[in-house]
């Protein structure tokens, strides 16, 4: 969990930061309120997170995300065989009128674009199910964007408690303990030097172990 919220339980990244930098107010309200966290990851999504040490860097990094000059890559394991193996999802996302905690593809929603590429296909004999491991690049930063777009394609992310469907998610949790979504790569410009940085995070052990239970097609 990244930021504190009314629905958040337990320690967050924001709590972790503030415990190490107590009582330091910079005068930049947004920087202080977010404890320098430039962007967010969904709950249970692992991977790269950017935290600014000072307000100047915070503003420069935030502008990169807003201007869509960053490159973000995620790994996701989804249900089914995704066809075509390379594609772009361009479908607007908005908060659901039926459940304000959920999001979905709705006409008139905010622009949302996600590119994807299939890396491998898998088969799980226990449930006689097929899966696709995807590399995804979101070009916009909508809440739950990858998860909503994969549900829209009828290929929900494994162990997704919101968009995966009750039966799917219950079966998934028997062999994959959490949402199979990982922020694996981020390319940004250093806020002081302008140098291009490529930050990488390998698939964590719990997800790698879950993947090893599947048979590659």
Name every residue whose Cβ is closer than 8 Å to that of residue 62 and which is 6 or more positions away in sequence: 38
Specify the higher pLDDT residue, 81 or 44: 81
Mean pLDDT of the chain: 89
According to DSSP, the β-strands at 113-124 and 215-216 are antiparallel
If you write DSSP's letter for every residue of 123-158 in order, what string do you get? Answer: EETTTTEEEEEEEEEESS--TTHHHHHHHHTT-PBT
Kindly indicate the confidence band of residue 126, based on its pLDDT and cuts at 50, 70 and 90.
confident
19 vs 86: CA distance, rounded Å: 44
Q: Measured between alpha carbons, how far apart are the two ends of the chain, in Å? A: 34
Res 21 pLDDT > 80: no
Query: Which entry of 15, 32, 33, 42 is annotated as an active-site residue?
Result: 42
| The listed CATH number (3.40.630.30, 3.30.2350.10, 3.40.50.720, 3.40.50.10540) that belongs to domain 71-216 | 3.30.2350.10
Catalytic status, residue 42:
yes
Q: Token pair of 178, please?
A: 């959490």
Residue ranges covered by each domain of the chain: 71-216
Cα distance between residue 69 and residue 77, in whole Å: 26
Identify the band that residue 150 occupies on the pLDDT scale cut at 50, 70 and 90: very high
Q: Nearest to residue 120, comparing CAs of 155, 76, 159?
A: 76
Pair 105, 91: CB distance under 8 Å: yes
What pLDDT is recorded for position 100?
Answer: 87
pLDDT recorded at residue 23: 55
Rounded Cα distance between 4 and 124, Å, is 37
Q: Look up residue 171 and give its two tokens.
A: 């079966």
Res 157: pLDDT = 98
**Percent of the chain scoring above 90 in pLDDT:** 71
Place of tokens 């408690």: 161
């Amino acid at each position: 969990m990244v930021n504190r919220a009314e629905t958040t339980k337990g320690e967050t990244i924001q709590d972790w930061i503030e415990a190490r930098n107590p009582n330091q107010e910079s005068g930049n309200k947004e920087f202080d309120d977010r404890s320098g966290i430039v962007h967010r990851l969904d709950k249970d999504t692992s991977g790269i997170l950017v935290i600014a040490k000072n307000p100047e860097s915070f503003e420069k990094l935030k502008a990169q995300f807003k201007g869509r000059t960053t490159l973000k890559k995620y790994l996701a394991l989804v249900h089914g065989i995704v066809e075509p193996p390379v594609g772009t999802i361009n479908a607007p996302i908005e908060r659901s009128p039926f459940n304000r905690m959920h999001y979905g593809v709705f006409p008139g929603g905010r622009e949302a674009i996600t590119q994807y590429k299939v890396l491998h296909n898998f088969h799980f004999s226990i449930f006689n199910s097929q899966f696709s491991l995807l590399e995804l690049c979101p070009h916009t930063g909508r809440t739950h964007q990858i998860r909503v777009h994969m549900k829209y394609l009828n290929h929900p992310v494994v162990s997704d408690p919101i968009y995966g469907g009750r039966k799917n998610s219950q079966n998934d949790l028997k062999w994959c303990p959490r949402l199979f979504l990982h922020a694996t790569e981020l390319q940004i410009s250093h806020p002081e030097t302008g140098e291009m940085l490529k930050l990488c995070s390998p698939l964590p052990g719990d997800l790698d172990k879950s993947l090893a239970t599947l048979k590659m097609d």
